[in-house]
Amino acid sequence: MSATDLVGASGKQYEIVVGLEVHCELATETKLFCGCANHFGSLPNTNICPVCMGLPGSLPVLNERAVEYAMRIGLALNCTVNPSIFHRKNYFYPDQTKDYQISQYDEPINSNGFLELPDGSSVGIERAHMEEDTGKSTHIGGGGRIQGADYSLVDYNRAGVPLVEIVSRPDITSADQARAYVLELRGVLVASGASDGRMEEGSLRVDANVSVREVGSTTLGTRCEVKNLNSLRSLGRAIDYEARRQVALVDGGEKVVQETRHWNEHEGRTSSMRSKEEANDYRYFPEPDLVPLVPSPELVESVRAALGVLPAERRRRLAQLATDGAVPTEPIATVVELGLDALVLEAHADGADFRLALTRAANEAAAEPEAAAALDAHSFASLIKLESAGSLTATQAKAVLAEMLSHGGEPAEIAKSLGYEALSTGAIDEVLDGIIAEHQSEWDRFLAGDEKVTQFFLGQVMRATQGRANGKVVAEALSARKSRQSGNSN
């Protein structure tokens, strides 16, 4: 959304302020406080035990691997790793086995970081703390919500699954940036190995705190927390909707009520879930069943050392290769997101042209990311080199790449089997002779300097050769003839 979209009826200009809370399930083998499997998709209530069911007398024991993963996330987000403690967040809900959630509160494991986005902007990270997930309720009847449901079913397999909640600062200024933030965060989480980042399985869940203010104002407006954002598309639409709703209120002299709002994807709007007054008093207090978590500096450093290369650094490595002219930011972001950056880097090291390799990777290869990940970098480099040399036209190169993606093989051989022996200059000249004979008037215009008919002749050659001619070679042939014929007439 551009800023001009946020002009109120009064003509005042407004801007969006968004902070995101992202819940990320950790990819541990077992749950946060017991030995039950942390596995999505099992039969309901099969991965449960006295601890995650909160049975009387059971006690939590912290999963060390979950702590390590939480530290990885914090370090990947440039946070400080702190000594931390757990609190109890008390509220009644049937999918909460103890009717309190063990969560970190005012002493989180990670704080004060930032996430750099592909466009160069940076979003502050307030904290990334650990907590346990709840079970999953399914409400039957009553529109799928607990109020008015005929009955509800609860699957406690998810109860006690380790989560890290990543809370951004309100640094996000548009729906696009919010999407870019989540996409980048997902990349960081996956790269750190701490999460599979699957939004569709609920591994990644996003809530948005949205407010608006007049451009130029430095104070934050009243925010609303928007929930039920199940996709990047929902996130963007919900922010845009919510911002417009708030601008209409503020611009009309009304106040935004601080509340939690539910995004309805089907209706494309948010509606009130509960106001601040109705909000729970969670009665946080330190969890007496757990001891303080004090990671040693050595442990923190060993986790830091084991972190893989993160997306921002991978983008930087590619950007460094764009020595001639502007940095192609978007294709770089795409190949890094899909993990195809290594392919481009290796092809470049093998002598292939960087920009062409990047273009083919970010467009054709990116369309089939799984097959692309399996591409042999040397073969890919050979393809790029053939295209650069003019031995293959762009169209041909794309067709060869498609074949490489579906069946593998060496590009030169594939080109041969497809009949893509590049047409020689002589062959192209022969074709041109015929075309010029048929289209004399167009040819005269071309000679007279009408550049527009260049395209016409290119198209004709392509049609006559069924796309086998190299556009660059045809263009060269045309201009060679032009200078020859002009020379004769003089």
Partner 1 sequence: MSAIEIATAVRAGEQSARSAVEGALRAIREGDGALHAFLLVTEESALERADALDAAIARGEDPGSLAGVPIALKDNLCTIGVPTTCSSQILAGWIPPYNATVVAKLTAAGAIAVGKTNLDEFAMGSSTENSAFGPTRNPWALDRVPGGSSGGSAAAVAAGFVPLAVGSDTGGSIRQPASLCGVVGVKPTYGLVSRYGLIAFASSLDQIGPFAVSVADAALLLEVLAGHDRLDSTSIDRPAPKLVESLEEGISGLRVGVIDDFLTDASTATRRAVGDAASALSAAGALVDHVAIPALLDGLASYYVIAPAEASSNLSRYDGVRYGLRVDADDVEQMNSKTRAAGFGAEVKRRIMLGTFALSAGYYDAYYAQAQRVRTLISEAFARAYSDFDVLIGPTTPGVAFRFGEKSDPLAMYLSDLYTIPSNLAGHPAMSVPFALGEDQLPVGVQILAPALREVVMFRVAAVLESAAPIGVGAPIGLPESVAR
Q: Which amino acid is at 265?
A: E
Three-class SS state of 229: strand
Where are the alpha helices (H) located in 366-439, listed in sequence order?
Answer: 369-373, 377-388, 394-407, 411-417, 425-438
- 9-28 positions binding partner 1, by CB under 8 A: none
- 74-93 positions binding partner 1, by CB under 8 A: 88, 90, 92
| List 62, 300, 436, 464, residue binding partner 1 (CB under 8 A) | 62
64 part of the interface to partner 1, by CB under 8 A: no
Tell the smallest beta-carbon distance from residue 168 to partner 1 (Å).
25
100 part of the interface to partner 1, by CB under 8 A: yes
Tell the smallest beta-carbon distance from residue 89 to partner 1 (Å).
10
Tell the smallest beta-carbon distance from residue 310 to partner 1 (Å).
33
Rg (CA), the chain: 30
Tell the smallest beta-carbon distance from residue 83 to partner 1 (Å).
16
CA distances from 68 to 162, 246, 257, 292 (A): 12, 41, 40, 15
- CA nearest to 337, candidates 320, 362, 354: 362
Tell the smallest beta-carbon distance from residue 51 to partner 1 (Å).
8
308 part of the interface to partner 1, by CB under 8 A: no
Structure tokens given for 471 = 């556009």
374 part of the interface to partner 1, by CB under 8 A: no
Contact 204, 154 (CB under 8 A): no
The DSSP H or E segment spanning 474 is helix 471-489
Structure tokens given for 127 = 């904290």
How many residues touch partner 1 (CB under 8 A)?
31
| List 98, 179, 186, 315, residue binding partner 1 (CB under 8 A) | 98
Contact 238, 270 (CB under 8 A): yes
Tell the smallest beta-carbon distance from residue 288 to partner 1 (Å).
4
* DSSP 8-state assignment for residue 282: -
Cα 276 from chain centroid (whole Å): 32
| List 8, 44, 54, 124, residue binding partner 1 (CB under 8 A) | 54
Three-class SS state of 232: helix
55 part of the interface to partner 1, by CB under 8 A: yes
111 part of the interface to partner 1, by CB under 8 A: no
153 part of the interface to partner 1, by CB under 8 A: no
The DSSP H or E segment spanning 314 is helix 311-319
147 part of the interface to partner 1, by CB under 8 A: yes
CA distances from 420 to 424, 429, 468, 469, 473 (A): 11, 18, 6, 9, 15
Binding window for partner 1 (CB under 8 A); candidates: 98-106, 342-350, 438-446, 459-467: 98-106
| List 200, 277, 281, 451, residue binding partner 1 (CB under 8 A) | 281
Q: How far apart are CA 234 and CA 428, in angstroms?
A: 52
Q: How far apart are CA 451 and CA 453, in angstroms?
A: 6
Q: What is the DSSP string of 99-114?
A: SEEEE--SS-SEEEEE
- CA nearest to 364, candidates 349, 350, 344: 344
Structure tokens given for 393 = 């036209």
Binding window for partner 1 (CB under 8 A); candidates: 202-210, 217-225, 280-288, 352-360: 280-288
Nearer to partner 1, 87 or 468 (CB): 87
Nearer to partner 1, 260 or 270 (CB): 260
Nearer to partner 1, 56 or 487 (CB): 56
140 part of the interface to partner 1, by CB under 8 A: no
Strand partners, 274: 260
* DSSP 8-state assignment for residue 157: G
Q: How far apart are CA 339 and CA 369, in angstroms?
A: 8
Structure tokens given for 167 = 């809370």
- 228-257 positions binding partner 1, by CB under 8 A: none
Tell the smallest beta-carbon distance from residue 50 to partner 1 (Å).
5
289 part of the interface to partner 1, by CB under 8 A: yes
Structure tokens given for 364 = 């054709």
59 part of the interface to partner 1, by CB under 8 A: yes
285 part of the interface to partner 1, by CB under 8 A: yes
Nearer to partner 1, 87 or 385 (CB): 87
53 part of the interface to partner 1, by CB under 8 A: yes
283 part of the interface to partner 1, by CB under 8 A: yes
145 part of the interface to partner 1, by CB under 8 A: no
Tell the smallest beta-carbon distance from residue 132 to partner 1 (Å).
14
58 part of the interface to partner 1, by CB under 8 A: yes
Contact 147, 274 (CB under 8 A): no
258 part of the interface to partner 1, by CB under 8 A: no
| List 47, 97, 104, 382, residue binding partner 1 (CB under 8 A) | 97
Binding site for partner 1 (CB under 8 A): 50, 53-62, 88, 90, 92, 94, 97-100, 146-147, 152, 154, 281, 283-285, 288-291
